[in-house]
Structure 1
Amino acid sequence: MMKLYVLRSLLLLFLIPFYAKAQTVSIAEKTKTMKVYNGYKPFYWDETTGKIWLQIDTFDEEFLYQTAIPAGLGSNEVGLDRGKLGATSVVKFSRVGNKILMIQPNYSYRAITNDAAEKRAVEQSFAQSILWGFTVAAETSGSVLVDATSFFMRDALKISAILQTNSQGTYALDETRSALYLDRTKNFPMNSEFETTMTFVNNSGKSGAYVNAVTPASEAISLRIHHSFVALPDSNFKTRTYDARSPYNTNSYFDYSTPISEPIQKNFINRHRLEKKDPLADRSEAVKPIIYYLDNGIPEPIRGALLEGASWWNQAFESAGFINAFQIKILPEGTDPMDLRYNVINWVHRSTRGWSYGYSIADPRTGEILKGNVSLGSLRVRQDYLIAQGLLAPFENGDLPADNKMLQMALQRLKQLAVHEVGHTLGLMHNYISSAQNRSSVMDYPPPMATLNSNDEIDLSNAYTNEIGDWDKISIQYGYKQFPNGTDEAVALDNLLTDASKKGLTFISDRDARDAGGLHPNANLWDTGNDPVTELKRVMQIRAKALSKFGENSIRKGTPMAMLEDVLVPVFLFHRYQVEAATKVIGGQYYSYAIKGDGQMVTKSVSKEEQLNALNAVVDCMDPKVLALPERIIKLIPPRPANYDYDRELFNRKTGLAFDPLAAAEAAADIPLSFLFNTSRLNRLVEYQAENGGLGIDDMIQVLTTKLWNGQKSIGLEGLIQQQNEQMLLTYLLAVSVNDSASFATKAGLLKAIDDLKTKVTAQLKKTKNNTQKGYLLLTLERIKSPEKAKATLHQTAPPGAPIGCGTNEN
């Protein structure tokens, strides 16, 4: 029996390979009833099971993996917009037995060397990421078939987490309500495209206001997710080194093969591949022009404006020596805008106005831009139209005037929007100093340039420029100019930027401009003019003129009178961004991104005289006479009718349904105070005064208290605004005095100012016989006792005001 058992066992072991081979299913057999999609990565659709099967023919060969949202939520606040891109990853398939791993190599850390051991040391020192594991289901001649359904049906963009982070509810993916979206699942020779409909369910019954506003049933949110597998480009792309004075986004990594004497971090600019047909010619057509496709769902006249504006970039490429190298076309019908072969400009609808974006998909290995992807918010143009409507009060006859100057201005801004966002996808960052350099770049944020004509009427004919800027030409030359053989490219590029700075053309980025404690006086969003203080005074004249005309002629016939408030908001706060710009003069510093030896100014102090001039101009904007709306306007704004909601675009109110002119004044006064009392600015005032005798905290507070607290007491609405301003100033004094971000010297200066104010108010209390005034003084003293209770609003009371824009691209 023992011998028989051994013989059986040996026979079984001998037959196992034959059984295994017989049980291995071929790809043809496995997929015989499925629909085949031939192309870059062949795949199959099994309609009976709703599964997608992926055929993998090569292993350890890198390709690009990209995710995106082709059909979004429709809420700007949540950010899950149509056209939004996910992460860009270089990946490869590796086989281990019957397992297929999708591996993402770590390109942040490299060794650019021919020494294999040196490369291996770096690769083994830093982690890779295995994004997914597949199981072989069929095999033919080295090609394998795997079930990829779960990979494509996962929450690849972390949508559940995004909804929860934005306090919109706890949502989870429901596979029973999710499926492949076959209309946009396609295959091409160099790319494979997959799309899914994904439903996220909230079983708790608690969902956020943003979700409730845009979904037919907030318990279930159905979006679409797109996945792209794309062949990586060849190795002929030539990288270009980043210069701190240039405005480009970068492809950065650490090269551990770098000699010790050289920087280990390498920075190369992101740019499209663009080459001349005739490299020897000064001007030549491109081997392959850069073509952008405009969403064919955009209506006229918006479509025409966007086409014209985006095409301005060809002016810059012409200056770099190319002929017709940048082109704009309408997206052909049936073309998928998610297809990575197409640079696209998407028209995105949301429930509220929101940002526009310009993103690029770039090869993580080199920085070569493979796809420009622009998302333009459709409602922003209506805000521009509203601004023009408020400035012009054009409805004297009740209906639209024949020339419709509001539409003209709004369309002109759309041209700016298109060229701006496309600029991001060409590799460019914002340049927020260009408004102070004669509007030299479309990569700034431009508000409408309103002027007073010879008849003392508001003129919007020069609201926006009609061409690419001088700095933009320099930028494209730096990124795309093709130099003749034998040229020292580094020297040529350095000369380009050095010559530009000599002409007064420079670059200041997002970080410098967006900080509430901003340092550079000329680096601002939405400002105009070469000097922020002079321009503030001019803008205040425009605001005064617009308010003097404001009334029934500011809305069309048949419009509820309550809607006047919608038009009033951007007029009343027309100066808000120029105020912000002027505050940066106070505690400011001029500087550049200078390179050693380039001859640029490195840093330059702002004189005490300049700062005092700016401070007085800013505080003048808080004068009760400036902030008090005339009674004739207040009487024109009743409560809103039924079905007209009170929303964030209006002033906050403490008066119930009634329009609150004090709330409007509070919003306008809080804006400058919040910037003036930024702790970074106050800390700098202390230090700069000690270093060079600049404006100090005591100087600033003296101006503020003199103008806001010590002035002639007003009566009526102006009197209430004056008291409100006084208490807002006290709020900031108290709040910053206990703020841990404030330096000891800053706190000391504020405590001295508070004590002086306490002494003064105490003396007034002993003298006054007016009960109302007595109560007000008692309130002031009571507030001084509890500085920890003072809550600065940081201009959150003001309605959102940016007329149109984008993110940091970031943009």
Structure 2
Amino acid sequence: MTTPFPKRWWLLLLIPLLSASAAIAQKLPSIASKTAGMKKYPGYFTYYYDDETGKVWLEIDKLNQEFLYVNSLSAGLGSNDIGLDRGQLGGERIAYFSKQGPKVMLVQPNLAYRATTDNPNEKRAVEESFAQSILWGFKAEAADGNKVLVDATDFLLRDAHDVIGNIKRTRQGNYRLDASRSALYLPRTKNFPKNSEFEATLTFTGGEDAGRFVREVAPDVQALTLRQHHSFIQLPDNNYKPRVADPRAGYFGISYLDYATPVGENIEKHFIARHRLQKKDPSAKVSEAVKPIVYYVDNGAPEPIRTALVEGARWWNQAFEAAGYKDAFRVEVLPDSADPMDVRYNIIQWVHRSTRGWSYGASVQDPRTGEIIKGHVSLGSLRVRQDYLIAEGLLAPYEEGKPVSKAMMDMALARIRQLSAHETGHTLGIMHNYAANNNASVMDYPHPQVSLDRAGKIDISHAYDTGIGDWDKVAVTYGYQDFPKGVNEKKELDEILAKGRKDGLLFISDRDARAPGGAHPVAHLWDNGASAAEELLNVLRVREKALQNFSEKNIKPGAAMSTLEDVLVPVYNYHRYQTEAAAKLIGGVNYTYAVRGDGQLVTEVLDQREQQKALDALLKTISPETLTLPEHIISLIPPRAPGLRSSRELFEKRTGLTFDPLAAAEASADFSVSFLLHPERASRLVELGARGNSLSLLDVTKQLVDNTWKSPRRKGLQEQVQLQTEQVVLTHLLALANNENASYGARAVATAALQDLKGYIESRQRSYKQDAYQAHLTFALDRLTRPGSEEVKPSRALDLPPGSPIGSGEALGCE
């Protein structure tokens, strides 16, 4: 049995400890003596720089006071595939410094779980139930009263942006931070009254196993030098009023669990992300803003692109005017004296990479409320060149003795205006709206609107929109309207959305539009037209005309003839996005983000006749006539010239160095059939067919087989295209029949279609001699009967060259 110490014994033990602690505190030098000879930078957090040691000393005079800590990447790697871009934000977090004996901790509280109450005990119960994070520990080196001095050098020179992890996750090598080649970067280390900005040059070494993407961009793969930025930012005051999120309004935002919520109410709270904007006179129909929102365009963007970026971003003022603001949204060129990483500047940054990639709109937000403190757009500079390439492919503009049409540059700049507006919209808090084609929103992904004029010539003069859309005005009004006192805000917000619905405006965002097996008949990426099926036929007509006109005039005089393939790729695959859009009509279900009582449509199966139109159009995309390249194009394209890199932007080939028109046709056919027989779509077709007034999977598989395997035989190259397309169809039927993610009904229909096809092939075999068709039938029959046929996967076919910007576009603020 242990005998407890008397209480006075504990006191006797504590006295020397307390005395030692006091002695330690007394031994700390003053801040002035510790920093003598160092350069002082007064500001939000005053700091000192010691030129002899390269150290940064941080004076902490706001212990236990929350602030916003943001880390970012100010100088990037230049590889879109790895994703470490110039100006990339790394995330924001609430933090505070807490002194614990001789240590000073940088603490991040857990705001995902809260108790919004005045009761401190309720708050404490939540705080103690969930983990906090201590981001860094410092040692107190000097003190003056409540001020403490710490050495912040190691904190600033760490890999806060996780460059090492990003490179490793993309399998591009194992790197480590080299402290001997890392230092504070003084030109971008600055201090201001409400924010302290630090920047560090960091060098990562290793590279023995560096991947291709690293080797493409690094001057020496054994030493990657980038710069990372740290911002300590004063939090906004408490005068901002969060706005409750509504699923119909299309806003990003914050969410958290509030344990002070009454039991009968939803514990999960959602608020939209938006800038703080107030009218000088909220009761006036039109009012100036107390403080306008100002964005700055990167002065590193060249002309005429810089002007196009300014003009496109300024479109948003039209939306703010519709909400009753006067000159509340402004766009200017960034002054030379300003730093794009400074939190005080909303920035539209021009970012270069080795390959074309996604642009994105991000923001620094107050995690407590969702208030946007800084909008930060990153625009990939190669996008404008891709649109120019598309225009070259459509127009074949390089005729001897004739000036080059300015229509191509006009189209490319029109796209840049739209892109600037789109990504700026994300930094205003607004999500994608993929149900807003026909110019209803700049938050859709726009495919160039191209048509044939009365003379049958390709017209690109109206390729892209020239202003803000009607949905964008509704969204801004919902998010930024400043209501007078006494107004029922929820009622007014509901009426804003109701008016939008009355005007025919619909909001459908990423999850519903991006899914390859998606069901919504109007929610697609990169599509046009009121009818996806009719627009697909229009796109195919434009494509056919462009291929008819395709010649050496598609490249500049003196260019290597092999570069014709670069221009051909976007022309041959011009219909790819509209194909996907039409496929979603097959087994389509219309729906909205309805809430109880708003009177919206909830769900409705798309009429069978509309589904059939889409199926007819999609089957046209896999016809030999559509897929077969004409001889006048094939004969123009030699193997790649020396010095020209072969890249993923070109067609995959099975013929070695020579151009492979069959491979191009195979990839295109596989693309169409993959959407048609997607397991989710197939399973839905079984269900909808049983409910009536919809195509069934039986209808689809029969028409697919009839239009391929059972269609009239072609000759020449068209015959080979036809035969390989039939093998592609067989591949997808085999895969569907054995796909455990598909419903039993879908797998049963696919199995029945395969049995029927097997009987058809056997009957045809008896009628043909030993020729290409006979060999084709023998191969197909072998695939149907050989053991292990269930292992056949759709991925065996060749892939299309990338159409969307290269890299991952799944992020919600990308385009």
| TM-score w.r.t. length of structure 2 | 0.96
Cα pair 2:355 2:806 within 8 Å, conserved: no
Q: Which has the higher mean CA deviation after the structures are superposed, 44-53 or 520-529?
A: 44-53
2:346 aligns with 343
What are the Cα deviations for residues 95-137 of structure 1, in whole angstroms up to 9, with x where unaligned? Answer: 1101111111111111111111111111111111111111111
Cα pair 2:452 2:458 within 8 Å, conserved: yes
Please report how far the alpha carbon of residue 346 of structure 1 lies from its aligned counterpart in structure 2 after TM superposition: 0.4
Cα pair 2:81 2:806 within 8 Å, conserved: no
Cα pair 2:106 2:136 within 8 Å, conserved: yes
In structure 2, C-alpha distance between the alignment counterparts of 1:208 and 1:796, rounded to whole Å: 23
1:45 aligns with 49
Please report how far the alpha carbon of residue 360 of structure 1 lies from its aligned counterpart in structure 2 after TM superposition: 1.0
> What amino acid does structure 2 have at the position aligned with 1:151?
F
SS at match of 2:615: helix
2:29 aligns with 25
In the alignment, which of 293, 302, 313 is matched to residue 290 of structure 1?
Answer: 293
SS at match of 1:658: coil
Q: Give 5+ residue unaligned stretches, structure 1.
A: 1-10
In structure 2, C-alpha distance between the alignment counterparts of 1:85 and 1:15, rounded to whole Å: 46
In the alignment, which of 334, 337, 357 is matched to residue 334 of structure 1?
Answer: 337
Cα pair 1:359 1:809 within 8 Å, conserved: no
Q: What CA RMSD, in Å, does the superposition of the two structures yield over aligned residues?
A: 1.9
In structure 2, C-alpha distance between the alignment counterparts of 1:712 and 1:13, rounded to whole Å: 96
2:12 aligns with none
SS at match of 1:44: strand
In structure 2, C-alpha distance between the alignment counterparts of 1:226 and 1:803, rounded to whole Å: 27
2:302 aligns with 299
1:245 aligns with 2:248: yes
2:80 aligns with 76
1:355 aligns with 2:355: no
2:667 aligns with 667
Please report how far the alpha carbon of residue 18 of structure 1 lies from its aligned counterpart in structure 2 after TM superposition: 8.8
What are the Cα deviations for residues 236-260 of structure 1, in whole angstroms up to 9, with x where unaligned? Answer: 0011111111010021111111111
What are the Cα deviations for residues 432-471 of structure 1, in whole angstroms up to 9, with x where unaligned? Answer: 0100xx3110000001100111221111111111111111
In structure 2, C-alpha distance between the alignment counterparts of 1:374 and 1:17, rounded to whole Å: 50
> What amino acid does structure 1 have at the position aligned with 2:577?
Y
Please report how far the alpha carbon of residue 788 of structure 1 lies from its aligned counterpart in structure 2 after TM superposition: 2.9
Please report how far the alpha carbon of residue 752 of structure 1 lies from its aligned counterpart in structure 2 after TM superposition: 1.1
Please report how far the alpha carbon of residue 766 of structure 1 lies from its aligned counterpart in structure 2 after TM superposition: 3.2
1:480 aligns with 2:484: no
Cα pair 1:583 1:618 within 8 Å, conserved: yes
Q: Give 5+ residue unaligned stretches, structure 2.
A: 1-14
1:374 aligns with 2:363: no
1:131 aligns with 2:135: yes
Cα pair 1:355 1:807 within 8 Å, conserved: no
2:239 aligns with 236
In structure 1, C-alpha distance between the alignment counterparts of 2:339 and 2:475, rounded to whole Å: 31
> What amino acid does structure 2 have at the position aligned with 1:145?
L
What are the Cα deviations for residues 269-325 of structure 1, in whole angstroms up to 9, with x where unaligned? Answer: 100000112233211111110000110111100011111110010011011111101
> What amino acid does structure 1 have at the position aligned with 2:626?
V
In structure 1, C-alpha distance between the alignment counterparts of 2:363 and 2:298, rounded to whole Å: 17
1:260 aligns with 263
2:407 aligns with 405
Q: Which has the higher mean CA deviation after the structures are superposed, 769-778 or 613-622?
A: 769-778
- The alpha-carbon distance between structure 1 residues 685 and 19, as it changes in their structure 2 partners (threshold 3 A), is closer
1:463 aligns with 463
Q: How does 1:140-179 map to 2 (within 5 A)?
A: 140-179=144-183
In structure 1, C-alpha distance between the alignment counterparts of 2:293 and 2:568, rounded to whole Å: 43
> What amino acid does structure 1 have at the position aligned with 2:134?
I
SS at match of 1:434: coil
2:283 aligns with 280
In structure 2, C-alpha distance between the alignment counterparts of 1:674 and 1:754, rounded to whole Å: 17
Q: Which has the higher mean CA deviation after the structures are superposed, 210-219 or 754-763?
A: 754-763
> What amino acid does structure 2 have at the position aligned with 1:265?
E
In structure 2, C-alpha distance between the alignment counterparts of 1:398 and 1:40, rounded to whole Å: 64
1:209 aligns with 212
1:429 aligns with 431
1:792 aligns with 2:799: no
1:386 aligns with 389
Please report how far the alpha carbon of residue 150 of structure 1 lies from its aligned counterpart in structure 2 after TM superposition: 1.1
1:418 aligns with 420
SS at match of 1:279: coil
Q: How does 1:105-124 map to 2 (within 5 A)?
A: 105-124=109-128
> What amino acid does structure 2 have at the position aligned with 1:198?
L
Cα pair 2:587 2:685 within 8 Å, conserved: yes
Cα pair 1:585 1:611 within 8 Å, conserved: yes
2:5 aligns with none
In structure 1, C-alpha distance between the alignment counterparts of 2:379 and 2:231, rounded to whole Å: 22
Cα pair 1:383 1:804 within 8 Å, conserved: no
SS at match of 2:495: helix
Please report how far the alpha carbon of residue 50 of structure 1 lies from its aligned counterpart in structure 2 after TM superposition: 1.5
Aligned residues: 798
> What amino acid does structure 1 have at the position aligned with 2:397?
P
SS at match of 1:240: coil
Q: Which has the higher mean CA deviation after the structures are superposed, 506-515 or 740-749?
A: 740-749
SS at match of 1:383: helix
2:7 aligns with none
1:636 aligns with 636
In structure 2, C-alpha distance between the alignment counterparts of 1:341 and 1:559, rounded to whole Å: 47
Q: Which has the higher mean CA deviation after the structures are superposed, 349-358 or 788-797?
A: 788-797
Q: Which has the higher mean CA deviation after the structures are superposed, 618-627 or 762-771?
A: 762-771
SS at match of 2:379: strand
SS at match of 1:793: helix
| TM-score w.r.t. length of structure 1 | 0.96
In structure 1, C-alpha distance between the alignment counterparts of 2:273 and 2:254, rounded to whole Å: 6
In the alignment, which of 38, 52, 68 is matched to residue 64 of structure 1?
Answer: 68
SS at match of 1:708: coil
Cα pair 2:521 2:588 within 8 Å, conserved: yes
Please report how far the alpha carbon of residue 524 of structure 1 lies from its aligned counterpart in structure 2 after TM superposition: 0.3
Cα pair 1:713 1:719 within 8 Å, conserved: yes
In structure 2, C-alpha distance between the alignment counterparts of 1:196 and 1:247, rounded to whole Å: 37
Cα pair 1:400 1:556 within 8 Å, conserved: no
- The alpha-carbon distance between structure 1 residues 722 and 445, as it changes in their structure 2 partners (threshold 3 A), is same
In structure 1, C-alpha distance between the alignment counterparts of 2:448 and 2:474, rounded to whole Å: 25
> What amino acid does structure 2 have at the position aligned with 1:737?
A
> What amino acid does structure 1 have at the position aligned with 2:630?
P
Cα pair 1:670 1:794 within 8 Å, conserved: no
In structure 2, C-alpha distance between the alignment counterparts of 1:442 and 1:565, rounded to whole Å: 31
In the alignment, which of 225, 231, 247 is matched to residue 222 of structure 1?
Answer: 225
Please report how far the alpha carbon of residue 808 of structure 1 lies from its aligned counterpart in structure 2 after TM superposition: 3.1
1:759 aligns with 2:759: yes
- The alpha-carbon distance between structure 1 residues 323 and 780, as it changes in their structure 2 partners (threshold 3 A), is same
In structure 1, C-alpha distance between the alignment counterparts of 2:445 and 2:340, rounded to whole Å: 27
SS at match of 1:197: strand
1:741 aligns with 2:730: no
